Chains A and B, each alone.
Chain A
Amino acid sequence: MAIYGTALLSLCLIAGLIAGKLIGLAIGIDANVGGVGIAMLLLILISGRLQISGFMAKPTQNGVLFWSSIYIPIVVAMAASQNVRAALSGGTAAIIAGVVVVIASFAMVPLISRIGQSNDHLKSTLESASTGDDA
């Protein structure tokens, strides 16, 4: 049933967020440290195990895949509810700081990509993989 997949997703997110909160607490900052990232790792691990042992029926998978396919509309809604006006009226210093840091960060991507091994293998796995709808 679809709800099994959605419930699995919910449990992973909640467990991840609680773990992230506890890590924040342990190092003394009031923020969620990597909660979503931990939840993603949990989902990858648990759903992988369940798939191998045959517990991920198609309807169960659909309960997860729906949310992954609704992702872009959610990002659009997120963009529509940002405080854009404040960003634009925040003053020259804020705009320049934002622009410079983004350009510098873009430029760093190829530099750091060169650290470590070649990425040919990963490129091929991406080409064969697919998530959600193909938009």
Chain B
Amino acid sequence: MNELWQAIESVLTKYSLVTAFAVVGTIVWISYGISAKVTRHRMHGSAIAILVGLLLACIGGVVTDGEKGIADIECLAGIGLMGGAMLRDFAIVATAFGVRLDEFLKTGLSGVVSLLAGVLMSFLIGAIIAYGFGYRDAVSMTTIGGGAATYIVGPVTGTALGATSEVIALSVAAGLVKSMLVMTLTPFVAKWIGLDNPRSALIFGGLMGTTSGVAGGLAATDERLVPYGAMTATFYTGLGCLLGPSVIFIVIRAIVGT
């Protein structure tokens, strides 16, 4: 029996990307089935599929003690490749195909406003909560504020400012929590916040910033909105990395003193 599994596993591992297509396809198929039969289309199939993905990632993390979710299991490593930055960005860009340029240009101003508001608000909230939890020096507050922006802005800011590794880890965790929440909650709040047109999707992307969260959340809400949100979200991390260790740090240091 063990030998049999080893033979199967060697094939799965060698063709890991193909294995990933098969596994993810099955997850999506089951999820759309649940969406239709159990929730009667009240919950979108892709939202269920993303939740199943997150659940599997959690299981993978517990079983393997690794950092890449289910992709840390050797024969499922292809899921990491399939869901990695390379193919994700490739597919995100493809969603822009067929979108008209004037739709983007019309929302230009509100896109910029949402980016600035999103980055500044995340730093502000993150820094205040850090202060509340006893991280009262400007470096830690700015770093955790960066984590509340995205899990890339946090460590980039923390590294630039020389924050402790504990604070950097905390900032990454805050960014991960944000990304998960945006992925799962967006379809539920979409109606309340008017997320049903390209303009609000662009603003949404700029305010949230987490590309993975925005991409997953919009995909589960209305697939046609993905290119608009993803478009602004890709500028967010860059803006956060730019403002965090510079302007925002200087402002926070001026306020708290150290």
Chain A interface (Cβ < 8 Å from any Cβ of B): 9-10, 12-13, 16-17, 20, 23-24, 27, 29-37, 39-41, 43-45, 47-48, 61, 64-68, 70-102, 104-110, 112-113, 115-117, 119, 122-123, 125-126, 129-132, 134-135
Verify A71–B216 contact, CB threshold 8 A.
no
Q: Which residues 35-52 in B have Cβ within 8 Å of A in the complex?
A: 45-46, 49-52
- List, in ascending order, chain A residues with CB within 8 A of B117's CB: 108, 112
Q: For the complex, what is the distance from the CA of A12 to the CA of B58, rounded to whole Å?
A: 35
- List, in ascending order, chain B residues with CB within 8 A of A109's CB: 193-195, 200, 203-204, 207
Verify B93–A16 contact, CB threshold 8 A.
yes
Q: A76 is contacted by which of B27, B68, B104, B234 (Cβ under 8 Å)?
A: B27
Q: B69 is contacted by which of A33, A65, A82, A104 (Cβ under 8 Å)?
A: A82
Q: B207 is contacted by which of A41, A85, A108 (Cβ under 8 Å)?
A: A108
Q: A90 is contacted by which of B79, B88, B170 (Cβ under 8 Å)?
A: B170
- List, in ascending order, chain B residues with CB within 8 A of A93's CB: 129-130, 133, 135, 144, 170, 174
Verify B216–A131 contact, CB threshold 8 A.
no
Verify A94–B173 contact, CB threshold 8 A.
yes
Verify B173–A87 contact, CB threshold 8 A.
yes
Q: A73 is contacted by which of B28, B178, B226 (Cβ under 8 Å)?
A: B28
Verify A115–B113 contact, CB threshold 8 A.
yes
Q: Which residues 136-168 in B have Cβ within 8 Å of A in the complex?
A: 144, 147-148, 152, 156
B257 adjacent to chain A (CB < 8 Å) = no
Verify A37–B234 contact, CB threshold 8 A.
yes
Q: For the complex, what is the distance from the CA of A86 to the CA of B94, rounded to whole Å?
A: 31
Given A68-B95, A79-B54, A101-B121; 12 other pairs, CB 8 A cutoff = A17-B89, A29-B241, A29-B242, A36-B234, A37-B232, A47-B97, A73-B28, A79-B50, A83-B61, A105-B208, A109-B200, A122-B197
In the assembled complex, the CB of A51 is this many whole angstroms from the nearest CB of chain B, namely 9
Q: A108 is contacted by which of B95, B96, B121, B211 (Cβ under 8 Å)?
A: B121
Between A23, A68, A79, A86, the greatest number of chain B beta carbons within 10 A of the residue's beta carbon is seen for A79
Verify A39–B93 contact, CB threshold 8 A.
yes
- List, in ascending order, chain B residues with CB within 8 A of A123's CB: 196-197
Q: B223 is contacted by which of A81, A96, A135 (Cβ under 8 Å)?
A: A135
- List, in ascending order, chain A residues with CB within 8 A of B67's CB: 83, 86
- List, in ascending order, chain B residues with CB within 8 A of A31's CB: 152, 156, 237-238, 241
Q: For the complex, what is the distance from the CA of A65 to the CA of B30, rounded to whole Å?
A: 24
Verify B177–A87 contact, CB threshold 8 A.
yes
